[in-house]
Amino acid sequence: MFPSRSGECTDGSWTRSVAAHHAGGKLDVLAFIGTSKAASQLQKGHPQPHRLRVCLGLDAKNPAIILPDADLDVAVSECILGSLSFNGQRCTAIKILFVHESIAAKFTEKLTAAVEKLKVGSPFDQDVKITPLAEEGKSTYLNELTKDATSKGARIMNKNGGEMDRTFYAPTVLYPVTSQMKIFLDEQFGPIVPITTFKDATEIYDYFAASKYGQQASIFSSNPEELSKLIDVLANQVSRINLNSQCQRGPDSFPFCGRKDSAYGTLSVADALRVFSIRALVASKETQVNKSVIAKIVQAQSSKFLRMDYLF
């Protein structure tokens, strides 16, 4: 019934109905969260694309940045939630971890131990955290990313990491990841946790400059000065900065948007009303006749549109 990440839907009749209305030009507004490829296909399918207003939440490669003074227990817990909840198949998931080199070994050890405790199995079983993937061919793609990384120096840190069985792909911690590996910039959209190290914040800035994505970032630190520096830079690279917490969606009162290729427009309750509305106005020259006419219309409430509660 609902669109998947690939842009497909599980209910064929619903898909055909929407596609028919869309191709027939009966849809004026498209609000969509999914891949840029699927969004492009939907936009191109409209016979009058100039009339179609869109609000899109698209691909993302959200990083977590762990500074030397971070609370490692908090960072590990939040990064597990951020990178592996729903098998990591959320645009808002943490997709890569930048860990300062001074704490990288200790952080990786703690995170690996936490990953190995995650229960895998059917989504219908109690306390299961990692399940088979809904997207056909995803396991093969994830395996290709893992093989590329390991062939270039990364190691699979956790027990059973890299194992696959049809639609199932085991959670996989990769370390150390470098810029030569596909996983460094490509969005995995699955249960791979790539860990890279940094010595200086300029390395993080260079990463954002090279990335085509710009949705969210998480920063883990208790140092106000260092946090301030990163916030001021990342505010021009992503649309949401999470302090000592995972990247995530909501609440709906928060704007959901992104920079670069990660979004078009803003999704939230207030912004949705703006996207789905077209502003209209009644105008006149400031003459006595016009003032009198407008006053009588408003006082008599004879117009549903031209009312005092609309005049602000």
| Nearest residue to 55 via CA among 252, 247, 278, 258 | 258
Question: What does the block give as tokens for 207?
Answer: 């990463």
Residues 240-257 as b or e (16 or more Cβ within 10 Å = b): bbbeebbbbbeeeeeebb
pTM: 0.82
pLDDT in tens, 189-242: 999 999 999 999 999 999 999 999 999 999 999 999 999 999 999 999 999 999
Residues 140-157 as b or e (16 or more Cβ within 10 Å = b): ebbbebbebbeeeebebb
Q: Which of residues 209 and 146 earns the better pLDDT score?
A: 146
Strands 53-57 and 263-264: antiparallel
Is 62-248 assigned to CATH 3.40.309.10? yes
Using CA atoms, how far apart are residues 187 and 35, in angstroms rounded to an integer?
A: 11
Using CA atoms, how far apart are residues 206 and 235, in angstroms rounded to an integer?
A: 15
Query: What average pLDDT does the segment 68-88 reach?
Result: 97
Question: What does the block give as tokens for 216?
Answer: 């969210």
Question: What does the block give as tokens for 242?
Answer: 């999470």
Q: DSSP assignment of 146-183, as one string? A: HHHHHHTT-EE-STTTT-EETTEE--EEEES--TTSGG
Lowest mean pLDDT among 9-18, 74-83, 180-189, 218-227: 9-18
Query: What average pLDDT does the segment 117-133 reach?
Result: 94
Cβ neighbors of 22 (< 8 A, separation 6 or more) are 30, 42, 45, 46
**For residue 232, how many C-alpha atoms fall within 13 Å in the half-sphere facing its CB?**
7
- Which residues of the chain does CATH 3.40.309.10 include? 62-248
Cβ-contact 46, 52 below 8 angstroms: yes
14, pLDDT greater than 60: no
Q: What one-letter code names the amino acid at 229?
A: K
What is the separation of C-alpha 197 from the centre of its chain, rounded to a whole number of angstroms? 23
3 state SS of 280: coil
Query: What average pLDDT does the segment 108-135 reach?
Result: 95
Largest CA distance in the chain: 83
CB atoms within 10 A of CB 264: 17
What is the pLDDT, as a whole number, of residue 178? 97
Lowest mean pLDDT among 40-44, 68-72, 90-94: 40-44
Residue 120 vs residues 67, 87, 93, 147, 171: alpha-carbon distances, Å: 30, 10, 19, 22, 9
Q: What one-letter code names the amino acid at 164?
A: M
